[in-house]
Amino acid sequence: MSLSSACPGNVKISSQSDADALNNCQTINGPLTVADASGTISIPKVQDIRGPLTIQNSPDLNALAASNLQTVSGAIAITDNAALNTLSLSNLQTVGGELKVQGNDGLKELRLDNLEKVNGNMDLSGNFDRISLGDLENVYGDTKIQSSGSFQCSDLDKLVSDEKVFKSSFSCNDKKGSSSGLSSGAKAGIAVGVIVGVILAVLLAWLCVRRKRKQQQKDAVLAGLTAAGAAGAIGKDVEKADNKVSTTASNGSPSSPQPPSDTGVMAASNIPRRPVSTTPQAPVPAALVPGDRSSRLVSNPDDPSLFLHPIPRRTPSESEVPMLDSENVHEAPPPEVGRQHEGLFELDAGPVSSTHQQAINHG
């Protein structure tokens, strides 16, 4: 049988000779059980167990080593082995189900340095002085750790602070009474849930208040419309009564007046009434009527409308009419009879001012 071959499952080991029969097996296609064993059991060649691994009910078993075991597709249960003090699963990486270690009073160290993933719950209980889970990445079930030895829960603070490791609840209790409840991820999730719940409650309360206010506004509008309709109906009744009284008075038929009811009086006092008659307006002068100009000339001098008289035109003054300057006036003599003048006349502009200048004939 070659080393790479697979061996059938349902293997039970009670002694080292049973374990030696698996020296040529890397894979076991089924469950592997160690029970009623004693001394030391070593399974050096097995790497993959395609089923559960059970080590139980072996009070005389001192040590168990499976140094090359990497994957167990089922659960691992190591229980009720009172003399077990050494457990070597140093290369174990994946557990397909639950990992349970309890009832092993002599087991002081639990070294699972390469363990990365546990697809179920992880329950570790015993008299531990050390628990090593350095490469742990994911535990998809609940995690519960209890130790009566010198192990302290604070040794796992680094794992607990990583919110991605413990997907569900986490609790740890040590000898000093230190305890840790939910993981930080679970606590953060609960905090977020509480905040979201509070926000939803506040939003729901706000919606209820808003709906109540809208309903109150609608009721107020309906009440106003109802009151307005009632007032209009009362006003119409009062107007009809007034018309009836006036008609009766004009026909001359006597009727005994009846006192109006309080409701009618109150409604009539609240309804505005139109004036019975209007004040006569003063006649407008004809000159102010658009398009009429017949009264521009007032024939009656005593007419108080003085602004309708034509305004007389004012004689302009000399300062407003341009006139000749009499200071330097130049005159030409009249032509002599029988003498023919030819050429141009030039005025002598001598040094004397304010005098008449004589014309000079250059002909």
Top mean-pLDDT range of 73-82, 198-207, 216-225, 295-304 = 73-82
| Structure-model confidence comparison of residues 153 and 193, the more confident one | 153
Indicate whether 102 belongs to any domain.
yes
Comparing 256 with 213, the larger pLDDT belongs to 213
Domain enclosing residue 62, as ranges: 6-178
Distance from the Cα of residue 358 to its chain's centroid: 108
What contacts 363, CB < 8 A, 6 or more positions away?
A: 341, 342, 343, 344
User: What tokens does 26 get?
Assistant: 């890397």
The answer to whether 109 and 137 are in contact (CB under 8 A) is no
| Contacts by 181-187, CB closer than 8 A, 24 or more apart | 183/143, 184/160
Confidence bin at 357 (pLDDT 50/70/90): low
pLDDT for 10 beyond 90 = yes
pLDDT digits (tens, 9 = 90+) for 100-128: 999 999 999 999 999 999 999 999 999 99
Tell me, yes or no, whether 195 lies in a domain.
no
> Does 341 map to a domain?
no
pLDDT in tens, 218-230: 888 888 777 776 6
Spatial CB neighbours of 40, under 8 Å, sequence gap ≥ 6: 16, 62, 63, 64, 65
Residue 325: inside a domain: no
- Residues 245-294 have pLDDT tens digits of 555 555 554 444 555 555 444 444 555 555 555 555 556 555 555 554 44
The residue ranking higher by pLDDT, 277 or 212, is: 212
220 vs 60, residue with greater confidence: 60
| pTM score of the predicted model | 0.51
Structural domain contains residue 10: yes
Which pLDDT value is given to residue 353? 53
Tell whether 92 is covered by a domain: yes
Residue 11 CA from chain centroid, whole number: 63
Residue that wins the pLDDT comparison between 16 and 277: 16
Is 276 domain-assigned?
no
pLDDT(295) > 80: no
- Note the pLDDT of residue 268: 46
Note whether 344 and 362 are within 8 A (CB). yes
Mean pLDDT of 139-144: 96
Per-residue pLDDT of 18-31, as tens digits, reads: 999 999 999 999 99
Burial of 27 (0-12, 13-18, 19+ CB in 10 A): middle
Strand, helix or coil for residue 25: coil
pLDDT digits 0-9 by tens, 61-102: 999 999 999 999 999 999 999 999 999 999 999 999 999 999
318-346: per-residue pLDDT in tens?
Answer: 666 555 555 555 555 666 666 555 555 55
pLDDT at position 89 is: 94
pLDDT of residue 194: 84
Mean pLDDT of 177-202: 71
Q: Name the token pair of 232.
A: 């209009």
In a domain, 157, yes or no: yes
Residue 163 has what pLDDT? 81
Provide the pLDDT confidence category of residue 172 given band limits of 50, 70 and 90: very high
Q: Taking the alpha carbons of 351, 352, 355, 359 in that order, is the dihedral positive or negative? A: negative
pLDDT for 166 beyond 80:
yes
The total number of structural domains in the chain stands at 1
Instruction: Write down the pLDDT at residue 211.
Output: 86
